Amino acid sequence: ALRNQSEHRLEGILEKAGLLQELTDREAAFLLGLQSRDDLDKLFRTARSLRERFFGNKIFLYGFIYLSTWCRNNCTFCYYRKSNSKSVRYRKTAEEVLDAAARLAASGVHLIDLTLGEDPYFHNRKEGFQPLIALVHQVKKRTGLPVMISPGVVPGRILQDFATAGADWYACYQETHNERLFAELRLEQSYQQRLASKEEALRCGLLVEEGILTGIGDTESDIMLSLQGMRQLQAQQVRVMSFVPQQGTPLADRETPARIRELKIIAVMRILFPDRLIPASLDVDGVAGLRDRINAGANVVTSIIPPLMGLAGVAQCRRDIDEGNRTVAGVLPFLEEMGLTAATAEEYLSWVEK
């Protein structure tokens, strides 16, 4: 009888979702708590049908350039934290970045994501961001594609400069909206400042991506808190990534969570934010993890790289890089298998300019 009751409840909630009615927090939490294969299949099916309603069978593809792995911060989960002496450090030149961007564009991505640690070279010098601002302009000119910039927390006037130079997106992941957990993960960083930088970016006319890390001590109510935070921020792109332990970090011995956790969050995000962009990152499980994430309702493939360029990833610095699978050509067959296809550059542009 209990099972019947809960099935009934699930069907009621999914029906509501299908009608685009806003779910209550309790209803969203109920979805996050689903366990049985049957229930999860229903959840994912609803997420996919919502995606289809807003995006048809089109998937967006993001090219990724990690342009500097230097960082002044010490996030406990991150391979590139300042104190990790095992970490591989580099800072790519403007020419190298432009070359990578051009190759990504030629391969068919819809956006160039320029990511870096909080590199003191940019962050701690007067006028330090100028080369980066100039680079955004050059990447746009060279590729004709929208640009996302992920430089960490930067002053408001710099966000304005990025926007003026042509940046379209600002990505800055809060990781968690539980302030106590944030303090454990992003050591000696300001929770409020990180959040405020995204609000400022929106005011500058940039689109904003918010993201969380899961399997890092976050409870179901922390996840709910994050989903509420994403709604409040009105981020245009929302993501979740599973924690992956990194060599040489304080969390090196922690286990990575079962992926169903991330998949459920993706599906609930799709249900709560049906018209937003939700990435399936190649960075966690490579192309092998693509199908599940897309089937859970994601509509953007992120972390596509130009092959053999010696550019690192975030969670898995070696994953699929040498194999050349994290490319557009490596991804397309997976999409096709699922009855999906890459959007055109014009289709992506019209979403961005909406």
| Residue 65: strand pairing partners | 114
**Is the CB of 79 or the CB of 334 nearer to ligand SF4?**
79
Distance in Å, CB of 145 to ligand SF4, minimum: 24
CA distances from 335 to 9, 50, 288, 344 (A): 32, 17, 12, 14
Residues binding ligand SF4 (CB under 6 A): 71, 73, 75, 78, 80-81, 117-118, 152
**Is the CB of 62 or the CB of 70 nearer to ligand SF4?**
70
**Is the CB of 6 or the CB of 76 nearer to ligand SF4?**
76
Cα 16 to Cα 172: distance, rounded to the nearest angstrom: 31
**Is the CB of 58 or the CB of 81 nearer to ligand SF4?**
81
CA distances from 118 to 63, 131, 142 (A): 20, 14, 25
Q: DSSP per residue over 202-247, as a string?
A: HHTT-EEEEEEEESSS--HHHHHHHHHHHHHHT-SEEEEEE----T
Distance in Å, CB of 67 to ligand SF4, minimum: 12
CB atoms within 10 A of CB 83: 12
Distance in Å, CB of 270 to ligand SF4, minimum: 26
Distance in Å, CB of 72 to ligand SF4, minimum: 7
Distance in Å, CB of 25 to ligand SF4, minimum: 29
Q: Beta strands of the chain (E only): which ranges? A: 58-68, 111-116, 147-150, 169-171, 207-214, 237-242, 279-281, 300-304, 341-342
Can you read off the two tokens belonging to residue 196? Answer: 């405020």
Distance in Å, CB of 152 to ligand SF4, minimum: 5
- Buried b / exposed e over 322-344, threshold 16 CB at 10 Å, is eeebbbbebbbebbeeeebebbe
**Is the CB of 129 or the CB of 351 nearer to ligand SF4?**
129
Question: For 289, which DSSP code?
Answer: G
Distance in Å, CB of 218 to ligand SF4, minimum: 16
**Is the CB of 36 or the CB of 190 nearer to ligand SF4?**
190
**Is the CB of 107 or the CB of 246 nearer to ligand SF4?**
246
